[in-house]
Amino acid sequence: MSEDLFMLRGEGDPLSNLRESFSIPEGLVYLNGNSLGPLQNKVKQRLKEVIDLEWGEDLITSWNKHGWMDLPEKVGEKIAPIIGASKGQVVCCDSISINLFKLLASAMQLRPSRTKILSQLDNFPTDLYVATGLELILGKSRCTLELRSPKDLVAAMNEEVAVLMLSHVNFRDGSVHDVADLTRIAHEKDILVLWDLAHSAGVLSITLDEWDVDFAVGCGYKYLNGGPGAPSFLYVNRRLHDQFLQPLVGWMGHEKPFQFEQEFVPARGIRQFVAGTPHILSLMALDSALEIFQDLDIGSLQEKASILSEQFLKLVLAEPDLDEFKLVSPTHPSKRGAQLSFSHPYAYPISRAWMEEGVIADFRAPNILRVGFSPMILSNRDIGLAVKKLIEVVQSRSFMEEKFQEKQNVT
């Protein structure tokens, strides 16, 4: 293969200057922003300010002096335009798992005569685990999880289904659901819809209000670059506000938390979904990380991610030594998120050996090498270098070394 193909620089890329905002080790090609977004330089500085001044000097007065109490809603408002939501419908708190529980339980309240949660067979495991947990709490006579293949979802939408719970982008193969179409079909059958945006928020164009979505959750530490364990966000369509009481009530969701009343009185609107004390350091990191989106068109991020993934796929398909890598993602870029997934019998040790060569991707069981394309930090040159290093790993068979065979705790 021509060396020139490996060194494409992507002249004219209007997003190329964004990489300078991130702290990325020299010579590293990071293809795992779909799992953990990279660190921005300004986030490091912001956290230092919070630790040294707000926590270090102002101590407890910072809840008022620096607005700590309002962070869940403040950060939610920064996320809102990224997912196509108007004000007052997004709040940032807790994890996706906890927020899914809140929203699924709320949806079941809104459809008391219906008993089923409908989802996809290969949906992300935590989504299914949470639904199963709710099934255990309510009992199968009140709540059952039904799983179907993507092609059978519409046929399974009947009068027993209370809520359809799906991921916008499948975590394993990157396939994308048509949110607008499935939401419309579900609503025609009086079914509520809950979308998991973990692998799409911040990299794909999303218009929740326009699509008339009921509920959504998303991740702060992937394409939003909020840092490891960054809080999740949740969206509740305004037309549903105050129609139900989400069951994971806590003092921060109280109308007047510092009255310390014995009876719970929910805050109006989206604030009732904040249960416990906000995680200030994590929220501050995410709040700072989100500033980079203020002047960005998400459509341009999606377009660049698509170009990068197509370039990667083109190089892989053109190389005979990579014939054993079988694409499991949709072939057309409009049908997948900002990732490519390949099956390979040695996917795990290859990912480890590739990492040692300075290219970080990840592995998903049972045999998937998953490659993510973060448009803020990657160039065509990075893509060419990554494929070149992959060819070297395969040709040398370095992945067969014993040190690459043992599974680490996190893959």
Strand residue runs (E) in 2-142: 29-30, 90-92, 116-120
Q: How far apart are CA 189 and CA 46, in angstroms?
A: 47
Q: Which residues are catalytic?
A: 124, 196, 221-222, 370
Q: Under a CB-based contact definition with an 8 Å cutoff, are residues 173 and 203 in contact?
A: no
- The residues that bridge with 169 in the sheet, in sequence order, are 176
Q: How far apart are CA 276 and CA 70, in angstroms?
A: 13
Phi and psi for 214 in degrees, rounded to 5? -85, -55
121 DSSP assignment = T
Q: Are 120 and 148 in contact (CB under 8 A)?
A: yes
CA–CA separation, 280 and 284 (whole Å) = 6
Q: Are 321 and 347 in contact (CB under 8 A)?
A: no
- Please, which residues have CB within 8 angstroms of residue 268's CB and are 6 or more apart in sequence? 241, 242, 255
* CB atoms inside a 10 Å sphere around CB 399: 20
Q: Is omega for the bond preceding 366 within 30 degrees of 0, making it cis? A: yes
- Residue type present at position 270: I
Long-range contacts of range 320-326, CB-CB < 8 Å, 24 or more positions apart? 321/391, 321/394, 321/395, 322/387, 322/390, 322/391, 322/394, 324/394, 325/369
Q: What is the DSSP letter of 191?
A: -
CA distance 231 to 338: 21
Secondary structure element (H or E) that encloses residue 158, with its range: none
